[in-house]
Chain A
Amino acid sequence: MISSANPNSQCCRIGRTLQLAMSFTGFFVLAGVLRCEASFAQETAAFFKSSCASCHTIGGGRLTGPDLKGVTERRDREWLRSYILNPQAKINSGDAYALQLLEEARGVVMPQVPGLTPEKVDFLLDLIEAESALEESQFKGIQVSMEPFTPADVAQGMAIFKGRQSLSNGGPACMACHSVPGIGGLGGGNVGPDLTRVFERLQGRVSLSAWLQSPATPTMQSVLRDNPLRPDEIHVLVALFEDTAKNGTPVQVTVAQLSFLLLGLGGAVLLLVAFDFIWKGRLRAVRRPLVQAAKL
């Protein structure tokens, strides 16, 4: 009797435990999905900011690329998805609208954004649709005044570039990696590209400002992600770049490198002399001088 009753009750216990476990699991899965929904939206917005906003606005006018307000009404989703996933392929296929976009962008091909999947594109399009419906989108872009820059703006831009004036959100000085004319014979850093002609490369004030607000390259994204530039800082930097594009010629790298080398050598020699002076009482050879003195 006892032996037959035991397995039954054990079965029951296991069953109840399983039930409990399943309900718990269900709760966690649901919670997880809900959380994912919320974070997907956030992630998509962040993705738009980092990967799209340097060339596109939603309701802020065209930059390098067109304003995306109402783009889902202008073209159907199928076309948009295939264009976004591989713009060059679409252009090569001879698609008329794609060629028109290319012309409007003065020949700049939209880059293929790394890490995009059809699902992500759909999320992006959902986001654009939702933002287009709003009165004022968060991706309207910065409003750039078209007033001519003053020399004071250029001077302040230079101060920021050189790091004399530190960036309010703690970003590093541009000079650490970049160079423009007028920052001394040694030039700036050689890690990033020379920025003398960046104003022309990025086609003017508006796109350059948008680029500075949300840079399109992974390197600059990581530099400015946690410490973005403020609009007034962008303003004076653009002023500087406009000025250098107009008036400056890039610093010659070889000259800068040579002077750096010479300065380094001179410094090393000075240091050695200083060391020799500071430790002039150090123990030099003892026995050898005795022998040499005796030989004389």
Chain B
Amino acid sequence: MNVRSQIAMVFHLDKCIGCHTCSLACKNIWTDRKGTEYMWWNNVETKPGTGYPTKWEDQEKFKGGWEKKNGHVRLKSTGKGRIVTNIFHNPHMPSMDDYYEPWTYDYQNLFNAPEGPDQPTAKPISMVTGEYIDIESGPNWDDDLGGSPVYGENDPNFAGLTDEQRLQLFSIEQLVFFYFPRICNHCTNPACVAACPSGALYKRGEDGIVLLDQKRCRAWRSCVAACPYKKVFFNWFTGKSEKCILCYPRLETGQAPACFHSCVGRIRYLGVLLYDADRVEETANLPQEQLIDGQRDMILDPGDPHVIANAKKNGIPDSVIKAAEESPVYQFIKVWKLALPPHAEFRTLPMLFYVPPMAPVMASRQDTGALNSVSDNLFHDIDDARVPMKFLANLFGAGQEGKVAYALRKQKAVRWYRRAVTVGDVDLETAERMLREADCTVSEAMAIYEITSLCTFEQRFVIPPMYREQAIEALKDPHEQKQSAGFGFLSGPRRGL
């Protein structure tokens, strides 16, 4: 057993209101530089929709992630032979049009326009070419438009849906959507790290954050093609790739990442997971239907004395182990099994998990005109939800409806139970029966209720001390650095070597 610690995340989609505050917090801190205009390390997508970049989930086009060939995972986008033939041209790169051409507005015209018959307008200007442009798309172009004929209908997660289900989804009164905020998943088996020919990408040993060394990046852009979530971006000005750094400077000083901190709906949870690094390869190679369970097995119980002993043997500090025990993320993922990895079939073993959203019910009125809220099947509204289970299963269940249904039923049971306790308009007996059917105990329901509805800042973000100084000492001798540090100039990344 090779115990490692990993900062992991849970996004509770049932709470997301799609306000994009996270995206803006990130943009203002990290990607308001020249060359990063089009980048959104954090973005919020409307589902159904094609997302950003357009149809990023369609690996037939983008060739991201891993695929199983001859019983072993291989990168889909590149390989030892193919990197030679594609050395001057990476054939799977998204173009700027697939992201969007970033723009600003000619605000000066509002003040300086010569007098004329019409009101002056602020025309959009490309932030790349500086020319006036007609805006054709943006990073959240189909925001709140779950049924739009161009973007909504082309969501790759509709694979496997019957025509009837599709028709239902796009009929005018049944339209439905939910929000899907995305950042880098800081995967345990990252395709970007595997693809980089320069060795510029690495997974930080002490917390598993995946970072890109700006000094070693040689602009091959293999990471951009390899990442199935399209969360590595190429900076056209510096000639280096960039990605979400999980605000590690904030984490190292005990603060939550900017997008977590600013989240209005408080949907985001962050904490430490302990996992067995020896089982990463084996887990990534599992058959698709076992991937989610396999990943859960790979994550270790921080309360198990055997795990703790092995963690200590690997040099994981006691404070980190303690943080792992208190981690809300561990509960969501492994204990309650509410949180699921996005597109586990990409086999990168992402460390960002999603609690699938409850969806509005298919309206079915009784003859009396009242909404039918009770039926013999207590979970009928989950089975009859407007978002077909198959769609959610494609997104979060690696195609298996069971995993998603389990999480939704448990959420529904907790809600029903709390309704019985707080409001009292439904009877407690039924509620407890629902809990039993949803594989949930009363204490578990209370815990889920607490962390979902009443959570404080400290409960949501259990940030361990990062011991950065110790991590550095493993690689560099501070006494050697002492005489050369503290004087001189920092230089930003530049094109070339």
Contacts and interface: CB of A to CB of B under 8 A. Distances in A.
B189 interface: no
A282 interface: yes
Given A290-B154, A291-B150, A283 B94 contact: yes
Contacts of B150: 290-291, 294
A282 B93 CA distance: 8
Contacts of A283: 61-63, 91-95
A285 B89 CA distance: 15
Contacts of B42: none
A290 B61 CA distance: 13
Interface in A274-289: 278-279, 281-283, 285-288
A285 B98 CA distance: 7
Contacts of B97: 285, 287-288
Contact of A281 (B50, B53, B91): B91
Given A286-B61, A287-B54, A290-B154, A279 B89 contact: yes
A55 B61 CA distance: 73
B151 interface: yes
Nearest to A278: B85
B149 interface: yes
Interface string A187-231: 000000000000000000000000000000000000000000000
Nearest to B62: A283
B2 interface: no
Nearest to A292: B150
B137 interface: yes
B137 A287 contact: yes
B91 A282 contact: yes
Contacts of A286: 53-55, 58, 61-62, 94-95, 98
Interface string A255-296: 000000000000000000000001101110111101100100
B149 A285 contact: no
A285 B54 CA distance: 10
A292 to B, nearest CB: 10
Given A286-B55, A290-B54, A279 B91 contact: yes
A287 B97 CA distance: 7
B103 to A, nearest CB: 16
Contact of B95 (A281, A285, A290, A291): A285
A135 to B, nearest CB: 65
Contacts of A291: 136, 150
Contacts of B53: 286-287
B91 A290 contact: no
Contacts of A288: 97
A279 B88 CA distance: 12
B220 to A, nearest CB: 16
Best-buried of A286, A290, A291 by chain B (most CB within 10 Å) = A286
A65 to B, nearest CB: 57
Interface string B72-111: 0000000000000100010111110110000000000000
A180 to B, nearest CB: 40
A282 B55 contact: no
Interface string B425-458: 0000000000000000000000000000000000
Contacts of A282: 91-92
Given A283-B61, A286-B54, A294 B149 contact: yes
B145 to A, nearest CB: 13
Nearest to A295: B150
A281 B90 CA distance: 11
Interface in B381-403: none
Interface string B140-157: 000000000111001000
Contacts of B85: 278
B91 A287 contact: no
Contacts of B93: 283
Nearest to A283: B92
A289 to B, nearest CB: 10
Contacts of A281: 91
Contacts of B154: 290
B328 to A, nearest CB: 37
Nearest to B55: A286
Contacts of A279: 89, 91
A281 B77 CA distance: 11
Interface string B191-232: 000000000000000000000000000000000000000000
B286 to A, nearest CB: 27
Interface string B30-55: 00000000000000000000100111
Contacts of A294: 149-150
Nearest to B99: A287
A287 B98 contact: yes
Contacts of B50: 287, 290
A291 B93 CA distance: 20
A63 B337 CA distance: 101
A276 to B, nearest CB: 11
Most A CB within 10 A of own CB, among B63, B91, B149: B91
B80 to A, nearest CB: 18
Interface in B299-352: none
A3 to B, nearest CB: 49
A283 B95 CA distance: 9
Nearest to B149: A294
Contacts of B137: 287
Nearest to B100: A287
Contacts of B62: 283, 286
B191 to A, nearest CB: 16
14 contacts: A283-B62, A283-B63, A283-B94, A286-B53, A286-B55, A286-B58, A286-B94, A287-B54, A288-B97, A290-B50, A290-B55, A291-B136, A291-B150, A294-B150
Interface of A: 278-279, 281-283, 285-288, 290-291, 294
The 4 closest A-B pairs by CB, nearest first: A282-B91, A287-B54, A294-B150, A286-B98
Given A279-B91, A290-B50, 10 more contacts: A278-B85, A279-B89, A283-B63, A283-B93, A286-B95, A287-B54, A287-B98, A287-B137, A288-B97, A294-B150
